[in-house]
Structure formats: C-alpha cells, structure tokens
Amino acid sequence: MKKSLLLIPLIIISCKKDPNVEPAERKDSIVITEQPDTALKMDSAAVRLKDSVINNAPKTKEVLKTGVMRNVKEGQIIRMVDAEQFPLTLGEEFTKDDQEFILKITDFDKPNIKAKINTKQKDFNIRFNQIKLPNGDYDGPFGREITYDVKGKGEVWLMIGKSNMASGNTKGSFTVSLE
C-alpha cells in the first residue's frame, strides 16, 4: 500500500510533460522583412501622375457625374445623405423640363435645418418646393434659402423643383448647401 502511494506522484509528474512545440518561424509560410524607408517613398511627380490617371478614368468621371446614393426615376432625382455629414454641398443637374430633386436626410436630430440653392444661371427657375418632417408633415413652398425648425428626430426630405408661379429656365446645374 505504501509503495502504491509513492507511485502516484510519479505518475502525475510523468503525465504533466509539456508537449514538444516547434518554433513558429519554421511552420509559417509568410516571411516579413523590413524595407528601408527610401523604398516606400514615391516621387511626388509619380504620385501626381497616379492621381491624374485615377481622376481622369472614365469610371471616376461617371461616379463624379452621377453621384453616390443617387437614383433617377421618371423625372425624379433622389439622393440620400446622412445628417452626420453636415455641413455639406451637393451638386446636381436638371436635364429635362419638370424634373424634381428629392434630398432625403437620414438620422436628422438637430433643432433646425439650413439649406441654400446656388446656381450660375440668373434666370434659373428653381426653389425648395416642400419639406417633409420626421413626423410625416409637409410644409412649403419656400424660396432658394430655407431655415426651418425641425421637431423630432428621423428622416427629413427637401424637395426641390421649379416654381409654377415664376418663369425661367428649368434646365441646368445647381448646388445645395446644407448645415
């Protein structure tokens, strides 16, 4: 019995052997080497050339022209922006008569909204027609500038189009600045 009690610690010690672990360097297939700083730096002319190639690429020009988060459907241009991006300025263009631009502002939680339409054409017939508030109410019409107290949080829509009470050109480019 005493002999078996002496064997128990020996058995426990022999079972607690650490497994053989080979260093990770021998098993990895990726080798990381340091490169000197001079190899990573590019000539500024090369950087400008690369930027020029990217900016003049046909796909880049298409995205810049059509915009991001933009849908065109039956005379309506709809764009979405997040209120966290304020202040911002968006460029847009009406190419047909009777087009309407709807700017949907998501996650709006500020006490008021300020917006302004800028054009280069003096006879451009354009204005803020309506605003849709987070509670679903509509208000309008307005002029080319709007400062509106918004109660509640949620999605706000700004609807831009021609004024039926005025004359002038209804095609052309414009920008909408938001604060």
Q: What is the pLDDT of residue 116?
A: 97
Q: What is the pLDDT of residue 124?
A: 93
Would you give the DSSP letter of residue 169?
B
Q: What is the pLDDT of residue 131?
A: 96
DSSP strands (E only) in the chain: 70-73, 76-82, 88-94, 100-108, 112-119, 127-132, 138-139, 145-149, 154-161, 172-178
Q: pLDDT below 50 — which residues of the chain?
A: 27-28, 39-40, 49, 52, 63-64
Predicted TM-score (pTM) of this structure: 0.63
Q: What is the pLDDT of residue 171?
A: 93
